[in-house]
Each structure stands twice: as structure tokens, then as C-alpha cells.
Amino acid sequence: MKKRVVVIGAGLCGSVVSTLLRDDFEVTVVEQGRKKKPLFTDVDCPTGELNTSINRAEGLGGTTNYWHNALIELAADDLRKAGIVPATIAPYYQKAWSFFLGKSELDDCNRARDANLAHLQSAISTVAHMVLPQARHNVWQLANKTNPGADIAVEYGHAEKIVAPTAGARGYVEIREAHGDRGLRRLDADVVVTCAGGLGTPVLLARSLGQDDGFVPGYHDHPMAYVAKVKLRPDSRLKAISCTTTRAAEVRAGIVYETDDLKTVVYLRPAVDLRLGSITGPARYILSDLRNDPFSPKKIMMLLGNLEAVREAILFKTGLGFRGDYYSVLILGEQTPLPTRGIAMTTGKRPLLNWEVTPAELASYDASVTKFLAEFAADIVEHEVVPTPTWAFRNAAHHSGTANQFCAVPGDASLDFFAAKGLPGAFVCDGSVLRAGGIANSGLTLVALSYRLAELIRADA
Ligand SMILES: Cc1cc2nc3c(=O)[nH]c(=O)nc-3n(C[C@H](O)[C@H](O)[C@H](O)COP(=O)(O)OP(=O)(O)OC[C@H]3O[C@@H](n4cnc5c(N)ncnc54)[C@H](O)[C@@H]3O)c2cc1C
């Protein structure tokens, strides 16, 4: 008889892991949402628009029901900070790229990457290579198409607790009917893989270990903010690298600076002029928000109130603005785990995330933006900067680092890397295992880790 693997969460990682294990194990996925739906109430957080714009989601595919699927690798130094030896993850990055793009499509993107690198060689900055496949994938669907095989059972409900095996008794997962109170049921498991996301997993692990009122430190994300507008010289090299369209994807080059051991990446987005109204205030992400939430009256009102932001969003989404002279400067900053930034749990209440940008992080991002303006002074004809104290940071939904205290052995390339301490047979695979994220959107790395974990579980069996 095959062993049973229970995968908790059918989002990005849960979809990849479960489809890779389906032929070797009896796989059951526990997913709290029956339908695709944004999550606004699972965690309280007063900052970062975590609960006012779509930031995470439930249903098969999890947050990938709404994501942009921008793909980018972590740089080697960031992998090392994350406890991942670059050479050991390289083959899995290749699998992750191939999961999203065919060979010739990838070759096109790599050619664009090499051209961008040649344009921007510099001693002051490095280049981030971001690829946006034109098809926005729900990863549950993509993973089932890419890795077909034996049936995967889906149990709808909220995993409350993982109970480790004891001598003679199998381990199990306790499940409550999602959004209801129909009591607990028990799902026996030989192996449990927790993929409930960077906010869901730490809460589940803390409860499983009896820390219902605990504090889980280590949370980090990529704060993002519009910080300036620039007018470029007509022949500026920045225009050539900001967005290259290939047959299957868009390739965007970000320019990365490091100050006081924290990275900041600068992306340019087409603009109409130098006025700052379109990149300040609530309408600044308007088209992205409306695409995911098209019938929100509040957002439609905002849209009508800031037509300049709409024009710029259209220039960006259609790619028409990438040869113009005006650009907005969007930054994403690195955060590292802090002992004070994380999720506080209180019995009977929602978990509370104290996400914030610290003064030291702000100072680092500010210095990096100054470096960008200085490095490209010859390309920038004019610029307008948003005053630093008013930079309105938004959470980028790359919830990371929250399982650091629960997960074993950074730097290890074996199953121990993913093993949940104190819960034999349980493994963690999602943003919560990432001890560092550099400036990279974490999705590609999470897919690479999912491939690695699935291979290790198969080998172990
Ligand atoms: C608008 C938007 C755009 C984004 N764009 C990008 C991008 O371009 N590139 C990129 O790399 N990343 C992007 N992200 C982030 C990316 O979507 C997430 O990093 C990724 O989905 C995380 O994968 P995951 O498997 O950790 O969690 P998720 O995909 O969030 O899945 C977790 C799943 O677990 C379920 N779950 C949680 N708790 C429980 C429980 N106790 N019991 C049962 N089920 C549970 C949830 O319902 C969910 O289905 C974006 C996010 C958003 C919101």
C-alpha cells in the first residue's frame, strides 16, 4: 500500500509538490477555500494595504489565482543568506523556469537578459532579470497539466493542527470545515507537507506545537513604493532595457543597489509627465487593483478621480509608454528577519502581523535611490522626487521568513532543510522557509524548492 502524503494548502507550492508526488504516494490536499477568493480577514495588519488590496487568496491555486507571475531568481549572495547553497538549487531553478516556459521561449528571454546586462555593465549597480510570461497561470491548473498522473484527493477545510506520530500510532492532521463550526475531523498521514503560505504556515506550526499565544518572529517582505519621476534623454539606454517583449513573455531589467547590506531594486514604469499626482495617493496601483477586483465601487471612484494614473497604467500595460521620455521610479526594498517583526497570536483573536518599514530600511532605500539618480545623471534630463518621509510603502505579498524558528538546518541540501522541528514526518515548503529574499519576487524560488522537496521525499521513501 502507498504511504499517504497530506499537503496543506493548494497554492503555489502545494500545487507543485502534490502533483509531483501523486504517482508515488496517495496524495491528499487540504485546502481551506472551495472557491477562488481573496483573503482579507485571516490576519490583522494595520499597515501595507495587506487587507485592503488583494494580497493573498484561497481556493485551488491559492494566491496564484491573482498573481502576476513575474519570475526572477535570487542572486547567489541572497541564496546564501537564505541558507540555500546556490549550486544545489541551480538544477531546480532550471526545472522551475521550464515549468513556466518552453525551451525556445526561455532562450528568447535569456538573449534579452544578456543584452540588458551588456547595456548596463556597471561597478555601482547590478541587473535584476525579471520575466513575465504573457499567460498568467493559476498554478494548480498548470501543475496538473504539467505533471499529470494518479488522482489527488482534495479535502476542503481548515487545517488546525498537525499531530506527530507516536509509537504505534500514525500522525494526523486535524481539519475544521472552513468558515464554519462543524467540528474537527482527522486525516491520517505518513508525511505532512505544509504549504499554507508565509502567513498561514507559522500559525499552524505554532498551534501544532502548543504555542497558541506565541510570537513568531522573522517576517520579511519587499516593501514597494513609487518614489520619483524622471524625464530621460531620447537616446537613454534605460529605455532599451526597461521592457523587452519576446514571443511568450516580457523581460524587465531592474537596477539593483546595495546600501548597508540591504538591496533596493529600481524599475521604470512609463509616465505621462513629471507630475507626482499619479504615483501618490490611493490610486497609484489602480489598474493592477482593478484587474483583480473589477467591480469595486470604491476603486472605480478612485479611478475616476485620477485619470492621469489611468493613462499611465495603460501606457504601462500596453507597453506603449516604454519608448517615451517620462517614467515613474518604482522601488522594491530588501528586508531581513528581525526578532521583533512577526506574527503575534492570541487565543480567540486573529493573528496580528506588525509589518513595517524600519527607519534603517528607509534610510538604506533612500541612499540607494540617490545612487540611481547619480549613476544615471547623464541619462536623466529632469526629475521630481517624492519626499522620503512620505513614501507610501505597500506590502508586495512575498510573505517570508516566518518558519525560521520551526524549520531545521539552513545550508543543508537534504530533507532536513524542510523538516519541521518537533513534528517528525512534517515538512514546510512555502515563503515561510525563506530566511532572505533579496529583491526577488519569491515565486520562482518557491517552485524550485517545491521540486527539490518532492524529489527528496520520493528518494527518502
Ligand atoms: C496581486 C499579487 C501579485 C503577485 N505577483 C507575484 C509575482 O509576479 N511573482 C511572484 O513571484 N509572486 C507574486 N505574488 C506572490 C505569490 O503569489 C506568492 O508568493 C505565492 O502564491 C506564495 O505561494 P504559497 O504556496 O506560499 O502560498 P499561497 O499561494 O498563498 O497558497 C497558500 C494556500 O494555503 C491555503 N491555506 C492557508 N492556511 C490553510 C490552512 N490552515 N488549512 C488549509 N488551507 C490553508 C490557502 O487558502 C492557499 O490556497 C503576488 C501576489 C499577489 C497577491
Measure 58 CA to ligand 1 centroid, in angstroms.
8
9 touches ligand 1 (CB under 6 Å): yes
Ligand 1 atom nearest the C-alpha of 38 is 53
**Residue 432, helix vs strand vs coil:** helix
Taking the C-alpha atoms of residue 115 and residue 278, their distance in angstroms, rounded to an integer, is 31
E strand or H helix that includes residue 53: none
Q: Which of 70, 356, 340, 403 is nearest to 223 (CA)?
A: 356
Give pLDDT, residue 180.
59
- What is the atom index within ligand 1 of the atom nearest the CA of 399? 19
Among residues 439, 114, 129, the alpha carbon closest in space to that of 253 is found at 129
Cell triple for residue 252? 524587465
Alpha carbon separation from 139 to 14, 27, 60, 289 (Å, rounded): 9, 17, 8, 20
Q: Is the distance from CB of 253 to CB of 128 less than 8 angstroms?
A: yes
CB-CB contact of 405 with 218 (8 Å): yes
pTM of the model: 0.96
The tens digit of pLDDT for each residue in 264-285 reads: 999 999 899 999 988 987 767 7
Atom of ligand 1 nearest to the CA of 9: 34
Q: What percent of the chain has pLDDT over 90?
A: 82
Question: Distance between CA atoms of 287 and 315, rounded to whole angstroms?
Answer: 11
**Strand ranges in 190-344 using DSSP code E only, listed in sequence order:** 191-194, 215-217, 224-232, 244-245, 249-259, 262-270, 326-333, 342-344
Nearest CA to ligand 1 atom 49: 62
Q: How far is the CA of 64 from the centre of ligand 1 (A)?
A: 6
Residue 228's contacts (CB-CB under 8 Å, 6 or more residues apart) are 328, 329, 369, 373, 383, 384, 385, 386
- Phi and psi torsions of 254, nearest 5°: -105, 150
Q: Is 197 in the pocket of ligand 1 (CB under 6 A)?
A: yes
Atom of ligand 1 nearest to the CA of 201: 38
Cβ of 395 below 6 Å from ligand 1: no
| Radius of gyration of the chain, Cα coordinates, nearest whole angstrom | 22
15 ligand 1 Cβ < 6 A: no
SS3 readout for 280-302: CCHHHHHHHHHHHCCCCHHHHHH
> Does 58 contact ligand 1 (Cβ within 6 A)?
yes
Q: Is residue 73 within 6 Å of ligand 1 at its C-beta?
A: no
Q: What is the pLDDT of residue 25?
A: 98
**Nearest CA owner, ligand 1 atom 11:** 443
In angstroms, rounded to a whole number, what is the distance separating the alpha carbons of residues 431 and 207? 19
Ligand 1 atom at minimum distance from 175 CA: 42
The residue contributing the CA closest to ligand 1 atom 14 is 67
Q: What is the pLDDT of residue 88?
A: 96
Distance CA 44, CA 40 (A): 8
Sign of the C-alpha dihedral computed for residues 400, 401, 406 and 407 taken in this order? positive
**177-181 long-range Cβ contacts below 8 angstroms, 24+ apart:** 178/32, 178/33, 178/34, 178/58
With 0-12 / 13-18 / 19 or more C-beta atoms within 10 angstroms meaning exposed / middle / buried, residue 365 is buried
Residue bearing the CA closest to ligand 1, atom 4 = 67
Identify which of 398, 344, 363 has the alpha carbon closest to the alpha carbon of residue 82. 398
The response to whether residue 438 sits with its C-beta less than 6 Å from ligand 1 reads: no
Kindly report the protein residue whose alpha carbon is nearest to atom 21 of ligand 1: 63
Please identify, by atom number, the ligand 1 atom nearest to the C-alpha of residue 431. Answer: 26
Q: How far is the CA of 68 from the centre of ligand 1 (A)?
A: 12
Q: Show the cell assigned to 398.
A: 512575498
Whether residue 398 has its Cβ less than 6 Å from ligand 1: yes
Contact 224, 394 (CB under 8 A): yes
Q: Is 28 in the pocket of ligand 1 (CB under 6 A)?
A: no
Nearest residue (by CA) to ligand 1, atom 31, is 11
Please give the pLDDT value at position 292. Answer: 72
Predicted local confidence at residue 181, as pLDDT: 60
- Residue 154 Cα to ligand 1 middle (Å): 18
DSSP 361-382: HHHHHHHHHHHHHHHTTTTEEE
Ligand 1 atom having least distance to the Cα of 33: 47
**Regions in the chain scoring below 50 on pLDDT:** none
